Amino acid sequence: MTDWEDLLGAAPPAVLHARLIPDAEEVLVLSYTCDLSFFEDVCLRDAQAVRARTTVLFDAHHLTEGPRRPGPADYLALPVVCKGGGAFHPKLVVIASETDAVVAIGSGNATASGWHHNAEVWTLTRGDGPTVPALFHQLADWLRRLPEYVWMEDLGRDRLDRVAELLTARPADPGADQPVLVTTALRPIIEQLPRPAGPATQLAVAAPFFDPEAGALQRLVDRFRPQQMRLLLTRDVQCDPDSLARVVKRVPDAAVSTPESSRYHHGKVVEWWSSDQGWALTGSANCSHAALTRTMPAGGNCELGVVSPLTAPVVTAVPAEAVAVSDLARLPIREPSPSASTATESLRVLGVRIGADRVEATVLVGSDGTPPSWLAVNGLRLDHDRATGKLHVYAAVPASDWTATSDGQAVSQVVTDDGTELRDVLVTDVAAALSRIDRPSPLEHTSLPQVLADSAHTAALLEALHHLASVRPDRIPQAPVGGRRRQVENRVRSAVGPALLRFALGLNDAHTQTSADDEDIFEGADPESSPSPARRTRPAPATPAWPGTLASVLDALTPGQRARLRRDVTALVDTSQAWPLPAKLAVSRLVLLLVAGGLWPEAADWADLLYWVLVQLWDTEQEESLDGEHAALATIGLVALRRGIDLHDEPDGRQAGQFDELRIAYREWTDWLATAPPDTIQRYHDGLGGHTLGLLFEQTHFTAELGWILGRTALHDAVDRLDGAHVDANGIVYVEARRSARHSLIAALDALRDFPDVHVVAEGGPETHGWWNGRRLLVVTRSGPAWRAELWRGLLTGIAVFARGTPLRPADQRWTAATPEEALTQASAGSPGALLR
């Protein structure tokens, strides 16, 4: 048994974050109240980072907040209901493999309060040798029997059996003085507490909840007949002060106290001593009849506890302030909250589960309820398939394009045959939840900036990207259930984990860190009361060891580290040339983020790399289910590359030419690019603003900007470099007449010599038109109602000198024309009009 101070705080997150079992097979969580969004933020990453299948069982009436991650859940969140009518109240975390296991049994619910803010009590047990603590075998027996007392889906039964198998894969240690598991399955917990041969020297109780008559406390006093009693009452204790005082006064030497700390003490401890020997009951049981004196079949709660031998006091070690027994009524008292009852609930959908070949929904029908003949989930009709007691299963085989949810969340609405609507039903992708990740990326537990700040993490990310390339959508057969996209996502998720999948899709996972010794004390309500906004407050993230932004991390790298990272990324782009689309999406996004973060200080360097990324995106075989992401990344990449070319101090003809070729290629895909969803573009461009691409880059209207880019040519880019010049819709270049119209015209024609016979017009003097193709110069000037044309042939030395004032030799031919275009036609045909003398 551990000292109280070592048992406070967020034991399960700390244990999961430590990843004590690097290749765990199962993570099992049992809780009364449950905040799935908190669990996803704080713990799911760590479970999936060690490849574990993750199952959370909770009381069906006490889901305080549902999943937050998009799409059907890739872990099992299973609401359960006690058959006897009590509360499903255990608090358990198991992390297990064939050769190792960690078991935490305590008092904290899977919420921000229970796993972070409250003072809780946890007993942690490790089994990593040839034998395991006997408690593991006791727990396995209880898990196997649990479905006898609790309504749950078959998936829950399967996961409990598998965890039990892992816990009993090795023989139990027969040693004495080991902790012993106690439950409410067969006998009341109070009858399982070892009684000393004579009266106990001391009984100490800490609990946040007492039954109104203090009957359970009275039973403890009767059982142990203590000479002393010490009662630790947390603030906002739920009790009847008068009943509590009557029990306390029956003990000759009794004292009551309340913790000095402002932290809510939600831990439950019953401690008793005889001479120098002590024992303690810890776990989920409050000091109430439902927890201590009744069994589950008799209407008691489902409780889980551990009886451990003690060598030092636990309850009295807590710094506390004495409270006179006569003043108990002056303590802050919590009024009992109304308890949910299954007897008054006619129908509850425990979940919608998407399997390999069909969709199932499990319905718990109350005593007065009638099972519907069918259900509808997002338009799909599920017919009655089978029943086990009050559990009824409905099933259907959907069309290939059916999805369980219409808003992208892991919850759906179910409609029964009589029109009853049941909202916020949990939806799980069973294949994803039961698969184990081949090679989790470090993004499962670490943010991208922190990954790139650590060379080992960076290497692991590159390795995961190479493994992601093994997922080839063209080799994924179309399954009879679910959409194509779900199948592709499942393959990616099982290969490298959900974090790298989300990264490739442009989604950001905010990883909230918690610490067992966090001093951010929560002043809100107890998690076992009714939901409230205050109770759902997230723990404040711990201060990261490295700067939080990608740019600041890259700035902090040494020159050698920056050079090595550039080489690694360049090699990655070269290697990824033949990779399929999911891996290309991840590589492309990584390059864009590193460009924006400033890994390459010169635009000339990163523009070349980004060009090849866009060439590869253009060459990659399409996967229709990922068209939105494909088009969105190409859109942002083209706009970013154009930005890089514009940032050059001097025009780079090679890069400008490459970009023009790329622009022409993508112009064939204009309609496809236009289908990129705005929200997908938004996801990908978040985080790209900054010094490299410009602070306002994220505010760009990328679709409009891309339309402007694709509508342009290399001529537009060349004209942009001419002061005061522009191109109209017909490709005619207009320049301002400066010193003279003719000089301005010739200067522009020379600057645009890479575009033979481009039509240039000088405005602001006598309107003058010109064409130059490297050998022939044609200048046409308005002369009254007509146009005067002048033609020079064989100007082998070019025309730049004539723009700077050197006189042109006399024209080879001069004539009048009706229009400048007519003059060009005549010059090209070699048949000028009326010659001028």
How many angstroms separate the Cα of 156 from the Cα of each of 319, 498, 543?
A: 41, 22, 37
CB distance 150 to 77 below 8 Å: no
- Start-to-end CA distance of the chain, whole Å, equals 116
Q: How confident is the model at residue 802 (pLDDT cuts 50, 70, 90)?
A: confident
Rounded Cα distance, 344 and 467, in Å: 52
Q: How confident is the model at residue 480 (pLDDT cuts 50, 70, 90)?
A: low
Rounded Cα distance, 429 and 501, in Å: 15
Lowest mean pLDDT among 90-99, 188-197, 560-569, 720-729: 720-729
Indicate if the pLDDT at residue 344 is higher than 80: no
DSSP 8-state secondary structure symbol assigned to residue 40? I
Rounded Cα distance, 816 and 807, in Å: 22
Q: Residue 46: helix, strand or coil by DSSP? A: helix
Chain CA centroid to CA 719, Å: 46
Rounded Cα distance, 752 and 493, in Å: 52
Residues 6+ apart with CB under 8 A from 443: 451, 461, 464, 497, 499, 500, 503, 509
Task: Convert the pLDDT of each residue in 437-446 to its tens digit.
Answer: 999 999 988 8
Is 641 or 399 the better-scoring residue by pLDDT?
641
Rounded Cα distance, 196 and 711, in Å: 90
> Average model confidence (pLDDT) for the chain?
88
Task: Convert the pLDDT of each residue in 4-14 to its tens digit.
Answer: 344 344 478 88
What is the token pair recorded at 349?
A: 């959908």
**Residue in the structure block whose two tokens are 């042939």:** 793
User: What DSSP string describes 314-358?
Assistant: SGGGS-EEEE-GGGGGGS-BPPPPPPP-GGG--EEEEEEEE-SS-
CB distance 722 to 750 below 8 Å: no
Go through the chain and tell me how many residues it has.
837
Phi-psi category of 155—alpha, beta or left, where left has phi over 0 and alpha has psi -120 to 50? alpha
Section 669-675 average pLDDT = 91
How many angstroms separate the Cα of 298 from the Cα of each of 84, 138, 747?
A: 6, 22, 99
Task: Convert the pLDDT of each residue in 112-162 to its tens digit.
Answer: 999 988 999 999 999 999 999 999 999 999 999 999 999 999 999 999 999
Q: Which helix (H) or strand (E) segment is 494 a member of?
A: helix 484-496
What is the token pair recorded at 286?
A: 């409050």
Residue 741 phi/psi, 5-degree rounding, is -60, -40
Q: How confident is the model at residue 527 (pLDDT cuts 50, 70, 90)?
A: very low
User: What DSSP string describes 98-163?
Assistant: SS-EEEEEES--BSHIIIIISB--EEEEEE-SSSB-HHHHHHHHHHHHGGGTEE--HHHHHHHHHH
Rounded Cα distance, 255 and 480, in Å: 67
How many angstroms separate the Cα of 364 from the Cα of each of 155, 347, 388, 397?
A: 15, 6, 10, 22
701-707-711-713 Cα dihedral, nearest 10 degrees: 50
Is 496 or 528 the better-scoring residue by pLDDT?
496
User: What DSSP string describes 635-674?
Assistant: HHHHHHHHHHHHT-SS--HHHHHHHHHHHHHHHTTHHHHT
What is the predicted pLDDT for the residue at 174?
Answer: 86
Indicate if the pLDDT at residue 831 is higher than 80: no
Is 337 or 562 the better-scoring residue by pLDDT?
562
What is the token pair recorded at 592?
A: 């864009």
**Residue in the structure block whose two tokens are 């209207």:** 701
What is the predicted pLDDT for the residue at 421?
Answer: 92
What is the predicted pLDDT for the residue at 733?
Answer: 96
Long-range contacts of range 784-788, CB-CB < 8 Å, 24 or more positions apart? 786/816, 786/817, 786/818, 787/816, 787/817, 787/818, 787/819, 787/820, 787/822, 787/823, 788/814, 788/815, 788/816, 788/836
What is the token pair recorded at 261?
A: 């700390």
CB distance 393 to 355 below 8 Å: no
Task: Convert the pLDDT of each residue in 682-694 to its tens digit.
Answer: 999 999 988 899 8
**Longest CA span, the chain:** 138
Long-range contacts of range 135-138, CB-CB < 8 Å, 24 or more positions apart? 135/103, 135/178, 135/179, 135/180, 135/181, 135/306, 136/101, 136/103, 136/167, 136/168, 136/172, 137/167, 137/168, 137/172, 138/180, 138/181
What is the token pair recorded at 570?
A: 């360049």
Q: How confident is the model at residue 1 (pLDDT cuts 50, 70, 90)?
A: very low
DSSP 8-state secondary structure symbol assigned to residue 290? I
Indicate if the pLDDT at residue 2 is higher than 50: no
Lowest mean pLDDT among 230-239, 536-545, 630-639, 735-744: 536-545
Indicate if the pLDDT at residue 672 is higher than 70: yes
Rounded Cα distance, 269 and 288, in Å: 13
Q: How confident is the model at residue 211 (pLDDT cuts 50, 70, 90)?
A: very high
Section 671-679 average pLDDT = 92
Nearest residue to 115 (alpha-carbon basis) of 169, 178, 166, 44: 44
Q: How confident is the model at residue 338 (pLDDT cuts 50, 70, 90)?
A: low
Rounded Cα distance, 719 and 721, in Å: 5
Most confident of the following: 519-528, 780-789, 802-811:
780-789
Nearest residue to 436 (alpha-carbon basis) of 75, 166, 93: 75
Query: SS in 3 state form for 444-487?
Result: HCCCHHHHHCCHHHHHHHHHHHHHHCCCCHHHCCCCCCCCHHHH
Rounded Cα distance, 248 and 644, in Å: 78
What is the token pair recorded at 753?
A: 């010599």
Rounded Cα distance, 740 and 503, in Å: 58
Task: Convert the pLDDT of each residue in 86-110 to its tens digit.
Answer: 999 999 999 999 999 999 999 999 9
The proportion of the chain whose per-residue pLDDT surpasses 70, expressed as a percent, equals 91
Rounded Cα distance, 780 and 378, in Å: 70
What is the predicted pLDDT for the residue at 156?
Answer: 95
Indicate if the pLDDT at residue 518 is higher than 50: no
Nearest residue to 114 (alpha-carbon basis) of 267, 1, 341, 224: 267
Long-range contacts of range 458-464, CB-CB < 8 Å, 24 or more positions apart? 458/565, 458/568, 462/568, 462/572, 463/439, 464/439, 464/440, 464/496, 464/497, 464/500
Rounded Cα distance, 10 and 595, in Å: 38
Handedness of CA 476, 481, 485, 487 (dihedral sign): negative
CB distance 465 to 525 below 8 Å: no
Nearest residue to 51 (alpha-carbon basis) of 431, 514, 434: 434
What is the predicted pLDDT for the residue at 481?
Answer: 55
Indicate if the pLDDT at residue 759 is higher than 50: yes
Section 417-437 average pLDDT = 91
What value, to the nearest 5°, has the Cα angle with vertex 87 and ends 83 and 90? Answer: 110
Q: How confident is the model at residue 164 (pLDDT cuts 50, 70, 90)?
A: very high
What is the predicted pLDDT for the residue at 515?
Answer: 32
